[in-house]
Structure 1
Amino acid sequence: MFSRFALPCWLAVLSFATSVASSVTPETKNLFVDADLFEAIDDTAALLLACTLPNTNLLAVNINVNSTYSAYAASAIVNHYGYSSVPIGLPRPYTNITSPEPFGGEYASKVAAGWSGGSVPNGQVNKTLDPVELYRKTLAEAKNNSVTVVSIGFMGSLSGLLNTTSDKYSALDGYALVKAKVKELVVMGGGYSQEPAIDAEYNFAIQNAPHVINTWPDCVPMTFLGAEVGVEVLSGARFTVCGPPNDPVKSAWEYWGSYNTSEYSWDFLTMVYAGRGLGSWFEYGNENGYNFLFPNGTNVWVEDERRTSQHYLKLKASNETVSKEMDNLLLRGAWTHAQVD
């Protein structure tokens, strides 16, 4: 039962939730999310959206840092939003390390303890899978051309998948499995403004991004949201004020130090595109060409009329509109699963 103090915030988004539900495509997007959920807070909001966007189905979550707390927190979050059995992948060897991030408070261990549940309850790290194994198992079990992979962190596990050979899950090697099962790879990473990048964007500077991006099968679409788009949209403040009091993502933001404070929206913008497509928020910034990464992770967009399967995103709507509607999406998702006395 909702408290009388929480009702005004919830009622404020009811009309928006109705319009979203009536405007989305009936096609279900099957999402495989690859996230870090460690040093930044935007991954938590992205997981909320992965679980609650209309017409989406969360298949699996890979954590691409080796902190056990990140795996427990991911399991707790998706469990809270209705996905009690979604498997969680965690790199080996894992450790109980917590985030050293100086710009915000550590949140993963607190969420893990406060909302323990799902396929990997707090303290039961043995229930995680190796991330590459989880990719192969999930893709092998999926229908052809049905999985949208959403990379909002580092790309070591995707690189590992591409390097695999046949195994007990599939006779196909990594590239063939991707060609058969993946409908689109959606990536938060890189930069696509007119100014050439000097340094690699954070997600591309670590691990194996050049291998994944430069050798990804051209027959499988790949779409990028760059750093310059995420900094245009600040969102989350209204969600932290008006969200349910016993919500793991709202609480994570408070642990992080972002109560009533909006954050750059890199990961959750990426998730909205993965779940809804271009919609009214986005447009493609190119008609053709491809993304190329240098060994240090710096990227450049190469014009090539023969290549049409890769795109980078630009905002079509104003950043103010997207920011407001993003908070509405977060509130709608959180209140749908609220447990408030």
Structure 2
Amino acid sequence: MAQNRVKPVPVIFDSDMGPDYDDVGAITILHTLADKGEAKILATMASTNYEGVAGVLNVFNTYFNKPWIPVGVPKGTALNLRDWQHWTDTLLAKYPHKIKTNTEAADAVKLYRKILASQPDHSVTIITVGFLTNLSNLLNTGADEYSSLTGKELVKKKVKQLVCMAGRFPSGSEFNVMKDAPSSKNVYENWDTPVIFSGFEIGVKIKAGLPLIHNSTIQNSPVKDAFRISIPMAAEDSLGRCSWDETAVLVAIRGYNLFYDLHKGKIVVAADGSNTWDDKGIGQAYLVEKADYKTVQDLINELIMHQPVSKIINKRSIGQVRKNQSTGSRIAKIEALNRKIDKIEANIRRRETEISRVEAQ
């Protein structure tokens, strides 16, 4: 009997990748679900512009065998907040990444316009787990070489939904909304597609990272390194880091039904970035717990321990080769296996390009 294949969700991922390290968990879950065929990553965007943020995104894309994923950074005014634990410095020093400076990355707004213009109508899910800087700038754009539509028109035509780790509900102040309040206010007042919020109260209970850092089978992982470095540096993280950003990715790809209900209405952002909720508003909703949060916690901890497919293959194959072959033969076998992996990955990239071309027609 033929099985119904789930069509991968086309995603643009927008992160502040640095002030906190739940962004690491979020991009890891995104790549995990992409490896499972549930997501297709169109681009990874930084909503901050501290030097090195483009390289950090490229580190994760490279680690998960997708170094070709475009990276965008704000080229104008943006926050330059970065991690105080310096895990980003470790990752940039330790792991391969082709993008060395932010100047080598694309302008985030131009990249948004280029990608959205090439996608089928009402198809793209945008996930924000940082500031709304890029999306505000996108809404303010006019026609360009990629589309005759304004930013607001392009969003309405091409975006299916916006899923944000943002806000505190039903009211309060939350970092992602507050730090660039004018952008947050512009986006949430003028965005013309459905918006789902995973608020502060959703992720604060969910602790992630301890199973990962205690898993001795995972080695040379930027994901593990970020959590390994950061967790011991804050007493409040002794049980793991709060999973604010991870929940947004999970809901954006797999939907909210298993774990959450939606409270519909519309966010109201004040000039200082604090938020309230208008139950009479339309087009937006925030998550409300339905399942035990520990169920989501277990799932997140499992997903962030995912390793790149080729890395798993290499580990298993090298172990088997060592049992049976001399040193020279081992090396030859490993090199042959890596060539096969390279061919498989090249075929995957070629197939993804063909699918994108067909979908854009």
Residue 334 of structure 1 and its aligned partner are, at CA, apart by 2.3
- 1:114 maps onto 2:94 in alignment: yes
2:214 corresponding residue in structure 1: 241
- 1:252 maps onto 2:230 in alignment: no
1:328 corresponding residue in structure 2: 302
- 1:65 maps onto 2:39 in alignment: no
Distance 2:196 2:176 in 1: 15
Distance 1:224 1:99 in 2: 24
- 1:315 maps onto 2:289 in alignment: yes
Distance 1:46 1:250 in 2: 13
Distance 1:76 1:337 in 2: 16
Check conservation: 1:98, 1:109, Cα contact below 8 A. no
- 1:144 maps onto 2:121 in alignment: yes
Indicate the SS of the match to 2:6: coil
Indicate the SS of the match to 2:106: coil
The Cα RMSD (Å) is 2.3
Query: Which amino acid counterpart does residue 68 of structure 2 have in structure 1?
Result: S
Check conservation: 1:235, 1:262, Cα contact below 8 A. yes
Indicate the SS of the match to 1:249: helix
Residue 337 of structure 1 and its aligned partner are, at CA, apart by 5.3
Residue 62 of structure 1 and its aligned partner are, at CA, apart by 0.9
Higher helix share: 2
Residues 1:258 and 1:141: Cα distance change in structure 2 (over 3 Å): farther
Q: TM-score, normalised by structure 1?
A: 0.82
Check conservation: 1:68, 1:94, Cα contact below 8 A. no
Residue 93 of structure 1 and its aligned partner are, at CA, apart by 6.0
Residues 1:315 and 1:25: Cα distance change in structure 2 (over 3 Å): farther
Instruction: Indicate which of 129, 141, 145 corresponds to 1:168.
Output: 145
1:209 corresponding residue in structure 2: 184
Indicate the SS of the match to 2:96: coil
Query: Which amino acid counterpart does residue 249 of structure 1 have in structure 2?
Result: V
Residue 116 of structure 1 and its aligned partner are, at CA, apart by 2.1
Distance 1:249 1:127 in 2: 23
Larger C-alpha radius of gyration, 1 or 2? 2
Check conservation: 1:34, 1:62, Cα contact below 8 A. yes
Residues 1:98 and 1:163: Cα distance change in structure 2 (over 3 Å): closer
Distance 2:219 2:139 in 1: 42
Residues 1:258 and 1:169: Cα distance change in structure 2 (over 3 Å): farther
Matches within 5 A, 1:1-341: 26-53=6-33, 54=36, 55-92=38-75, 99=82, 101=84, 105-117=85-97, 121-193=98-170, 196-197=171-172, 200-207=173-180, 208-217=183-192, 220-242=193-215, 244-258=218-232, 261-284=239-262, 286=263, 288-304=264-280, 307=282, 309-331=283-305, 333-334=306-307, 336=309, 338=311, 340=315
1:12 corresponding residue in structure 2: none
Check conservation: 2:121, 2:159, Cα contact below 8 A. yes
Name the structure, 1 or 2, with higher relative contact order (CA <8 Å, separation 6+).
1
Gaps of 5+ in 2: 319-361
Check conservation: 1:113, 1:122, Cα contact below 8 A. no
Query: Which amino acid counterpart does residue 73 of structure 1 have in structure 2?
Result: V
Indicate the SS of the match to 2:205: coil
Distance 2:286 2:210 in 1: 27
Check conservation: 2:185, 2:270, Cα contact below 8 A. yes
Query: Which amino acid counterpart does residue 186 of structure 2 have in structure 1?
Result: H
Check conservation: 2:139, 2:152, Cα contact below 8 A. yes
Indicate the SS of the match to 2:267: strand
Aligned length: 301
Query: Which amino acid counterpart does residue 110 of structure 1 have in structure 2?
Result: T
Distance 2:298 2:83 in 1: 31
Query: Which amino acid counterpart does residue 109 of structure 2 have in structure 1?
Result: V
Query: Which amino acid counterpart does residue 262 of structure 1 have in structure 2?
Result: G
Distance 1:144 1:43 in 2: 28
Distance 2:288 2:176 in 1: 19
Distance 1:69 1:169 in 2: 28
Distance 1:258 1:319 in 2: 24
Residue 100 of structure 1 and its aligned partner are, at CA, apart by 5.7
Gaps of 5+ in 1: 1-21
Distance 2:310 2:137 in 1: 35
Q: Where does structure 1 differ by over 3 angstroms across 4 or more consecutive aligned residues?
A: 97-100, 257-261, 335-341
Query: Which amino acid counterpart does residue 254 of structure 1 have in structure 2?
Result: R
Cα deviation digits, residues 101-154 of structure 1 (max 9, x gap): 3xxx1111221222222xxx2524332011111111111111111110001000
**Percent identical:** 28
